[in-house]
Structure 1
């Protein structure tokens, strides 16, 4: 996921591994630091308590998703390509991190307000708003909505589609069909 250049990343990676193996309740700070190979006190330089790891994991997963999207964004100069890219990467990240995503939803709703989610998502929303503004100027994206809403709704809908497929399996379809149906729906709302 990340290079282990600093102790924060080492701790975060270790915590994610331990939580995937044992669950959050059974996981301990001692296990995190042992796996990371750092002293116990190092954990408390970055996190005030074990529960502080929850939003850090959510932020890490979302940062990874945005990084992957940005690496491929040249493929998506037009609105259609952008939506397909968002859907593909959201599905890939949701599949890869499904256990941790479920954990993050439960942990943030238990320990934090939904404003914390907005803080975590802010870089993604702002990046997409910028892209949508450019596409609106080119006449490719609906101009009937402010891009701040359009970005928020688009991200939310795409994530819901990926999570419905991998986490709840509410609709039993193969991944390609799920992505195509989601693209069809979102493109009708966003593209001109």
Structure 2
């Protein structure tokens, strides 16, 4: 693992342990096993690490989607695979997601959010375009715009299950079922 990756991983761990406000750069450097000054070679402040953490989560979303969504499957199954992938990553990174939202929303780094998510949007747009060509989704959809809506909707639904309230398995099942019904009706020809 290179130094930048060590700093990002250490930041996640220290932020989870101490919270953003109480974390000092010295804490992150110590956890990463680097000199205090080395931190500044990669990041100008502790909050500037947030976009790098968000990039790691987006990468996890993409890896999970690429591993689980089969473009040859019927649309309903693809949507189920997509929802499951995003729910799984959101659950896995729920503690970190809260930190990222808090850290990015209180700084100028929030403007980077769209750039960070662009590869994920592009991946889902590609899936939609392929399904449009297969005539499994409406021919009138714009894959690029619809991808943003789909990701936003699924991610928001997953956050409602894992971040905003105490986890409940029945709530998760109900949320996924409603979400899948909504998506299928919104996308079908």
Q: TM-score, normalising length from structure 2?
A: 0.91
Aligned partner (choices 31, 37, 44) of residue 35 of structure 1: 31
Aligned partner (choices 12, 17, 20) of residue 13 of structure 2: 17
Q: What is the Cα deviation at residue 80 of structure 1?
A: 2.1
Distance 1:51 1:163, change over 3 A: same
Q: What is the Cα deviation at residue 67 of structure 1?
A: 1.2
Q: Can you list the C-alpha shifts for 1:73-127, whole angstroms capped at 9, x where unaligned? A: 3376442232112211211111121122122112211102653110010000111
Match of 1:87 in 2: 83
Match of 1:169 in 2: 165
Q: CA RMSD in A?
A: 2.0
**SS of residue matched to 1:168:** coil
Distance 2:4 2:188 in 1: 40
Deviates more, 1:68-77 or 1:161-170: 68-77
Aligned partner (choices 185, 188, 191) of residue 188 of structure 2: 191
What pairs up with 1:1-192 in 2 under 5 angstroms? Answer: 5-74=1-70, 77-112=73-108, 114-169=110-165, 173-192=170-189
Distance 1:54 1:117, change over 3 A: same
Distance 1:158 1:151, change over 3 A: same
Deviates more, 1:169-178 or 1:103-112: 169-178
Distance 1:35 1:171 in 2: 30
Gaps of 5+ in 2: none
Q: TM-score, normalising length from structure 1?
A: 0.89
Distance 1:64 1:81 in 2: 21
